[in-house]
A = this chain, B = another copy of it.
Amino acid sequence: MKEVKLGIIGLGTVGTGTLRLLERNASVIGRRAGGMLKIARIATLNPTKPRAIPIDPAILTGDANEILNDPEIAIVAELIGGVNPAKEYVMRTIESGKSVVTANKELIAKCGADIQRAADKAGVDFLFEGSVGGGIPVIKPLRESLAGNGMSELIGIVNGTTNYILTSMTREGRTFGEVLAEAQQLGFAEADPTSDVDAYDAVYKLAILADVAFGVRVRVDDIYREGIRGVSARDIEYATELGYVIKLVAVARHTENGALELRVHPALLPSAHPLASVSDSFNAVMATGDAVGEVMFYGRGAGSDPTGSAVVGDLIEAARNIRSGRKCLVRHEPLHSTAICKFDDIVTRFCVRMQVADQPGVLAQIAAIFGKHGISLESVLQKSSDDHSAEIFWMTHRCPQCAMNSSLQDFAGMSTVNEVSSVLRVEGD
């Protein structure tokens, strides 16, 4: 069987998982790819560092140019992460007529359009299944199997670290800070957890999903972003009492006027919702198409082996395409020039938790303000505290963000409202 030569740039978590898999299942992978995948060269910052898996030292290099300039290498896996120097490596790979596979969500979210254009021009593959949902097949099913559908909505749990934290908070009644500290100790969260807990990671993934599922190119800055630092044990208690769980969700949804809502934030989901039982570090993406209805993809959203699985799946596809002599078609010009819904116009249900003076007439006063701004209420739970104040947990019907903002402004000016402790959204019903 003919060989297809690979270069791998980056030998961290994903690179190691990819190598391990290419070695373990080499024979089956070769037959499925239509040619043995031979790793010709691996570039890493520190080629002499001891590794968890045996690697022939002769193929290791500290210089990515040895891959980019090797005319025999047909496919490059870029597995270093971040925009620089990954973008330069990817663009040079494509310009030299090689196909590229990557799991680099930040790069694709920020520069995917440029890279796709270059790949289309060069007639090579640009594949990135590992960038969203780790090993879960999401990109290819959305962009190929479901390509006949007009999509109306996509909602996903796409960050494993935050899902682990929220799951532990819910199960054990602990605070965000406690669980985060433990997750960092166990290696489930980074020393600097910003990318996960402040939802940058989920925003990158939503940008990629919006492109693939809706054919819409979006700037990362167009996506509303709110992390999970503000989710308190108290919010989770109320949610549980009302039959909901709190998840960090990534949502893309066509509004009635055709604009696209794009937002990442914590939200209450009814406990019977298919995403509600996605726990720990698992991920899932649920999409709604005009023909298929609701479909969901579920599995391990991160990790060395799962993400390696996605990278190897892409390597097999790229190799098949090379072996079959296929000239890659322009894959993915933006299909639509859809307006992105302004933050103020986004319509959702809300939960508002507040501390108020424990005296007659306050509840009615607050309800009147919601009413004034056109917000109708679904339910309210009031509990008295020790200190002559009371806590109220409101759940509203669907209303625009701007109506909620106006209400919050009014509450800020009221002497009977001591504090608005949290404002969360409700999805999925």
Interface residues of A in 89-115 (CB under 8 A from B): none
| Docked-complex contact A137 and B148, CB < 8 angstroms | no
| Docked-complex contact A29 and B291, CB < 8 angstroms | no
| Docked-complex contact A137 and B147, CB < 8 angstroms | no
Say whether A423 faces chain B, with CB atoms less than 8 Å apart: no
Q: Among A243-251, A299-307, A350-358, A405-413, which stretch is in contact with chain B?
A: A299-307
CB distance from A123 to the nearest CB of B (A): 9
| Docked-complex contact A144 and B295, CB < 8 angstroms | no
Given A135-B293, A141-B145, do A324 and B333 touch, yes or no (CB 8 Å)? no
Candidates B136, B326, B329; contact of A295 at CB < 8 Å:
B136
Residues of chain B within 8 A of A147, CB atoms compared = 29, 32-33, 312-313, 316
| Docked-complex contact A335 and B24, CB < 8 angstroms | no
Interface residues of A in 291-336 (CB under 8 A from B): 291-300, 305-306, 308-310, 312-313, 315-317, 320-321, 323-330, 333, 335
Residues of chain B within 8 A of A291, CB atoms compared = 17, 20-21, 135, 305-306, 308-309, 312
Candidates B146, B299, B329; contact of A296 at CB < 8 Å:
B299
Candidates B31, B144, B148, B309; contact of A289 at CB < 8 Å:
B309
Bound CA span A150–B27, Å: 11
| Docked-complex contact A140 and B145, CB < 8 angstroms | yes
Bound CA span A327–B28, Å: 21
| Docked-complex contact A292 and B299, CB < 8 angstroms | yes
Candidates B20, B146, B329; contact of A320 at CB < 8 Å:
B329
Candidates B146, B309, B326; contact of A146 at CB < 8 Å:
B309
Seed contacts A137-B137, A325-B325; 4 additional CB < 8 Å A-B pairs: A137-B295, A291-B306, A294-B300, A326-B327
